[in-house]
Structure 1
Amino acid sequence: MAATIIRNVKALAPLLDRVLVQRIKAEPKTASGIFLPESTVEKLNEAKVLAVGPGAFDQQGKRVAVSVQAGDRVLIPPFGGTPVKVGEEEYTIFRDHELLAKINE
């Protein structure tokens, strides 16, 4: 069976209460301007929401909206989610209730 090839992240439309995010990469440079090797740069638990599903259904059959929207910044757990690779870029799909917090600026 051949693997599905996704050419563009915009082709991904999350279903139900799922949220597509891209982890924000840590700066490979210190405040004083020293560049760090990639192996020493930690992964941040911060991500940008790229797309959201329409929401899941409650027990009465009413749709419950997702708590975030595209463009929001969120805290994500260090593990979990479903990784998705599009070209060289990596994305993750989480359920809405798995997100830890929304970052308000």
Structure 2
Amino acid sequence: MKFRPLHDRIVIKRIEADAKSAGGIIIPDTVKEKPQQGVILAVGPGGRDESGKLIPIDIKIGDRVLFGKWSGTEVRIDDDDYLIMKESDVMGVLVELEARQKGA
């Protein structure tokens, strides 16, 4: 990807939701909700405060994050769909999954 976000914006690739429910029911595409999890692909340098001092972004490339259902702007770059949003639209980083992956 050849895109560099500015200021406190980040680029996210959605993680596709499972096609089955927890009970084993197959969910058709027409009723599937958009996933609210994604992986950070790029981050901007950070925002600025009132004095002009740079405030770095806490999120780093590779983090799995949760975000709001209607957050961000959907864009298509090189035939792939991405979300561009401000860091403040992210609800949190999924650290439990990271700990499981490191332990495996």
Alignment pair present for 1:44 and 2:35: yes
Task: Kindly provide the amino acid, as one letter, of the partner of residue 70 in structure 2.
Answer: F
Q: 1:90, CA displacement in angstroms?
A: 1.1
Alignment pair present for 1:59 and 2:50: yes
Task: Kindly provide the amino acid, as one letter, of the partner of residue 53 in structure 1.
Answer: G
More off after superposition, 65-74 vs 84-93:
84-93
More off after superposition, 89-98 vs 29-38:
29-38
Alignment pair present for 1:78 and 2:69: yes
- 1:1-105 alignment, distance < 5 Å: 10-30=1-21, 35-105=26-96
Gapped runs of 5+ residues in structure 2? 97-104
Q: 1:88, CA displacement in angstroms?
A: 3.5
Gapped runs of 5+ residues in structure 1? 1-9
Q: In the aligned structure 2, how far is the partner of 1:63 from the partner of 1:91?
A: 26
TM-score, normalized by length of structure 2? 0.80
Q: 1:35, CA displacement in angstroms?
A: 4.6
Q: 1:64, CA displacement in angstroms?
A: 0.4
Aligned length: 96
Q: 1:59, CA displacement in angstroms?
A: 1.5
Structural RMSD (CA): 1.8
Q: Indicate the residue corresponding to 1:6 in structure 2.
A: none
Q: In the aligned structure 1, how far is the partner of 2:58 from the partner of 2:71?
A: 19
Q: In the aligned structure 1, how far is the partner of 2:75 from the partner of 2:26?
A: 28
